[in-house]
Amino acid sequence: MWYVILLAGGSGARMGAGCNKVLLELQGEPVICRAARAFSGVVDGMVVVARKEDQQAIQAALEASHAFAGKLHVVTGGATRQDSVWNGLQALPADADKVLIHDGARCLVDEATIRRAMEAVERCGSGVAAIQAVDTIKQVDESWQVTGTPDRATLRAVQTPQAFTVDLIRRAHLSAQAEGFQGTDDASLVERLGQSVQLTEGSRRNIKLTTPEDIAMAEAMLQELPALPSLRVGQGYDVHRLVEGRDLILCGVNIPHTLGLLGHSDADVALHALMDAMLGATALGDIGKHFPDTDERYRGISSMKLLEHVVALLAENHHRVTNADVTIVAQKPKLLPHIPQMRQNVADALGLPLNRVNVKATTTERLAFEGREEGISAQAVCMVQDI
């Protein structure tokens, strides 16, 4: 299992912001959330190392932004960067066998850079992001007298992520601790073990935010990227079983029928599909996450109530639905007479005019479970606007 250790323990003194620099915002998103988001699709879990006084704020920012979907642990940093990495390594769960170590302040890291480092670990146990040196580097003495000029072609500027097998980097840290060695990066500890370290291509954009000028540079780089449109699309799908002795409720309308839908709530399959479309468009998960069927509060609850909750959740996250289209797949009963009330219910809940909401019904020509009247399915698509 791949884990990432995000280092967020600095005091940010050189930034002069009066707070941990990873909590500063870039285009409205905290630095630590941007960094976490870069790893979200590639690792199974994350350990964030932060000072005690920042832990709550960092945890809250990550949870509020849904930046990271995997397992998340926030642990306390040490006196030095190396100590902080060690605390992060100690906090890795037993199933972690490969780890990326990354500066939380390098929030412009891209997924390709991360994947190159990971691939090198699979091949040879280490993968460390680095770029060609563009400046000529001089060696100097204490009075800045030049003592040498290494050949630039042999020099690389090292970044993070630095990726290793957990076994290798743990051994390197233990050995450095035993010798009282403090390195400025993790690769140097592995080098001291006598193990070769593989560099991989990093990125010039992968800068470490250290001074206020870096923030300005990062903002400028982000503006270069084409802005994402403020419209998102989402889709939802749901199925419920038809049984005797239950009401049939679709889009909040109680429809006379010999069978009804079985479920923990009122089993309004159409609204469930719609809510999943809304949560899907906004990357807020699904209704199972927000209204678990193990929660007694939702037993028999009207799905119109759940829909109100999802509308409020979207508003809290600065989104609103601009239109919705729901398709109900049922062999029986005839739904056409009930469609106007269904549309009205959905439009009212979404705060939309009627001409922004469509509800339609179809049969499957007696094919499949809907055709055999074993259940009813529904699909929904909606457009969501950032507000």
CB of 267 to Mg ion, least distance (A): 6
CA distance 206 to 129: 10
**Which amino acid appears at position 102 of this protein?**
H
Of the two residues 265 and 282, which places its CB atom closer to Mg ion in the complex?
A: 265
With respect to Mg ion, which residue has the nearer C-beta, 306 or 321? 306
In the complex, the smallest distance separating the C-beta of residue 273 from Mg ion, rounded to whole angstroms, is 8
The stretch among 17-25, 189-197, 266-274, 350-358 that binds Mg ion (CB under 5 A) is: 266-274
**Least distance in angstroms from the C-beta of 311 to Mg ion:** 18
How far is residue 183's CA from residue 362's CA, in Å, rounded to a whole number? 67
For the CB of residue 263, give the shortest distance to Mg ion in the complex, in Å: 6
How many helices (H) and strands (E) the chain has is answered by 12, 18
How far is the C-alpha of 261 from the C-alpha of 377, rounded, in Å? 10
C-beta of 129 vs 267, nearer to Mg ion: 267
Smaller CB distance to Mg ion: residue 185 or 266? 266
Task: Using the rule CB under 5 A, give the single segment among 18-26, 73-81, 269-277, 315-323 that binds Mg ion.
Answer: 269-277
How far apart CA 233 and CA 227 sit, in angstroms, is 17
DSSP structural state of residue 184: S
Closer to Mg ion by CB, 54 or 266: give it.
266
Burial string for 33-56 (b: 16+ CB within 10 Å, else e) reads bbbbbbbbeebebbbbbbbeebbe
The residue number whose beta carbon is nearest to Mg ion equals 272
Long-range contacts (CB closer than 8 Å, 24 or more residues apart) made by 189-195: 189/82, 190/126, 190/164, 193/168, 195/125, 195/126, 195/168
* Subset of 194-253 contacting Mg ion (CB under 5 A): 238
Per CB under 5 A, 98 contacts Mg ion: no
Least distance CB 269 / Mg ion (angstroms): 6
Which residue type, as a one-letter code, is found at position 82? Q
Minimum CB distance to Mg ion smaller for 272 or for 343:
272
Q: Least CB distance from residue 243 to Mg ion, whole Å?
A: 14
Q: Given the complex with Mg ion, which of 35 and 380 has the nearer CB atom?
A: 380
How far apart (Å, rounded) are the C-alpha atoms in residues 263 and 287? 13
C-beta neighbour count of 104 within 10 angstroms: 29
Q: Which of 34, 102, 106, 272 binds Mg ion (CB under 5 A)?
A: 272
CB of 244 vs Mg ion, minimal distance in Å: 19
**Distance between terminal CA atoms of the chain?**
38
Choices 72-80, 100-108, 162-170, 268-276 (CB under 5 A): range interacting with Mg ion: 268-276
Nearest-approach distance from CB 322 to Mg ion, in angstroms: 24
- Please report how the helices 303-316 and 339-350 are oriented relative to each other, as an axis angle in degrees rounded to 10: 30
* CB of 185 or CB of 238, closer to Mg ion: 238
Residue closer to Mg ion (CB basis): 130 or 255 = 255
Nearest residue (CB) to Mg ion, 238 versus 370: 238
CB of residue 303 vs Mg ion: minimum separation in angstroms? 8
Give the total of residues touching Mg ion (CB under 5 A): 2
Shortest Å distance, C-beta 373 to Mg ion: 18
Over its C-alpha atoms, the chain yields an Rg (Å, rounded) of 27
- Looking at 3-11, 175-183, 267-275, 308-316, which segment touches Mg ion (CB under 5 A)? 267-275
CA 128 vs. chain centroid, Å, equals: 23
Question: Among 233, 230, 381, which Cα is nearest to 318's?
Answer: 230
Round to whole Å and give the CA distance between 303 and 278.
14
Q: Rule CB under 5 A: which residues touch Mg ion? A: 238, 272
